[in-house]
Structure 1
Amino acid sequence: MKMTIIMMFMLSSTLFLMMKHPLSSGFMLLMQTTFSCMINSMNSYSYWFSYILFIIFIGGMMVLFIYIASIASNEKFKFSMKTMMLMTMITIIMMMIDSTIMNNMMNEMMLYIKNTKMSNKEMMSIMKMFNFPMMMLSMLTIIYLLLTLIAVVKITMIEKGPLRMKN
């Protein structure tokens, strides 16, 4: 289950780079937020961190949605057949990778966790978030923030002048 969510996160990251419309980019960011919170809730004993993370990201998405709605309110939303075909191919390839390579990697990771006794409840601390099993979530959060930064830079081009004309 966890590997499927990670694969969906990677697929939405790939699709995010292909999106042309700001609302579809916002939807992909929302999907990535949901996937990262699901991964975090599966890896910790308490759901509070994932809940707070989700609430913070949703607050940021609301601000981003209001901003985009004022800029691109009349822009048409188009589906590209090329993008749909590419998305289908990437999904099939990721399913193949998930069934072969990722299962072996997950078994090795579980063996490592059992050997280092990291699964004890006494070892739960803030440092667990940056150790081996949870390191992937931190990396996915860093990638999410980088993609959000790229989206904001693409939206606010200096050559185009102010974001909204004053009458």
Structure 2
Amino acid sequence: MSVGLVNIRPDIKSPVVGADATNEVVPIANFTYYLSEHFALNTAAGITRHEFSNAGGILGKASMAPFHLMAQYHFMPKADFRPYVGVGIHHTVFFKQSGPAFNGLEDFKADTGAVLQAGFSYTLNKDYFVNFDVKKFYLETNVTPQGGAKIETITLNPWLIGLAVGKQF
């Protein structure tokens, strides 16, 4: 188990609305279960809130809770420096939409997609380690006015860059 901070950097494609979103740094808790020396399952818990804007100004804010499960391969499990890669799936839920433009929209729909990961752990001593990882989430949602037709599908595809300190059990 580890706790730390993650920098969430949306990589938005919004050709119609021209939306962009703030980068955010939030606390995160990671849980990794080793199936063998090389293979592990990983999940994390964290919630983020981003402000969305375009050339016309602030559109609104929305919170996101990404639930994900990663299958990881650890290359050098007995070394102090242990690089790994992972692939997995996420289900991201949007909530607490608010703001000038968001108040007139249907709630953003939850999305399920792929996640890629690369990182490393470094052993500090027999009990503690430091972990650094980068994840790429593939995430999109629709922009739909209340009672209207879909305007566009926004691709968010955030990068998550995390640093954590953990305890080995």
What's the TM-score once normalised by structure 2's chain length? 0.21
Larger relative strand fraction: 2
Q: Relative contact order, CA 8 A, sep 6+: which one is greater?
A: 1
- Of structures 1 and 2, the larger Rg is shown by 1
What's the TM-score once normalised by structure 1's chain length? 0.21
